[in-house]
A and B are shown apart, each in its own frame.
Chain A
């Protein structure tokens, strides 16, 4: 954690459990860290520019929104074109996460992972067919793993023991 100074770290620790839902949430962080509100805002801006903070906002519960079908679609894409296919798949509006990952042969031949959400499994299957069309003959095999249950969801937490 060498790239974060102790004040950055204190700000993140104060903010990561959630911003206060009050008119001036950054002032609340400032109070708990012991610096000025303007400093908090400037530092969070720098952390966003550096990519340490990807965004500030909400994460909804997909199930509560009615998006009860959550499919991790997985694809065995020829290595030579896997990056190119990944870029195209990742650009689809209904794909929320898309990664190239190593295969775990022999049991796991898939190297491209694309998360697709829908209100029904039929909707996810329709989207999966769109991905298959896009991947074309470079795709040798595919599968979809539906989620049955969220067992844990806390996000990344910094432990409080310093860098």
Chain B
């Protein structure tokens, strides 16, 4: 009797969960499907899920008519560049705070976090003017600098929470064996900390890839990443749903795949360790 009831409730909850998650996922699925339709099919009053002529025309149109590939490279350079530079700056800081804490460490961490909460409009004008004066407007270098700085607090914080869980005894044992500090970092700490460092890198690539305030304001034709490229579809000419879909799919798929791998780290990183 009771197994029967629990079986029935499992069927019910499964159906409900699939229905709701299907609805949440539907806009992405619909974009994916539309990207393979003709423009006429894409606005058809009797839209079809699968029964239409599948075509790759939109993808070749987007690639042919716009420097899509340049924008893609810009996104890669900005997201990866800022994450790697950020790691190089953040790892020593997080190491220092996790293993040689002082009375001020906690305040320092909180202060770093507070910089993340500064609304971008609070520094919009000075950054814009400084970028103009240093000829950094619409350059990849400029965007790498900004992305590194806005994500640095998250990086230090995430790495700190990972490093803090590494037992001190391991480092002390290495020290007893006469390891120097550099040996300690490269041969003992880094191998243990590698998963944490990888997750930090992953989360920051995702955040930088999708960042859409500074990238829209500080970039134009040359350095525009995909966020800004897609924004150019907001003033369309003629039929464009299928092409918008194709461009969108190409912009989101890499990060969607990375994102699914980093679900757990996402919670930890974005809640600053408040929820683990």
Do A and B come together as binding partners?
no
- Report which A residues bind B (CB closer than 8 A): none
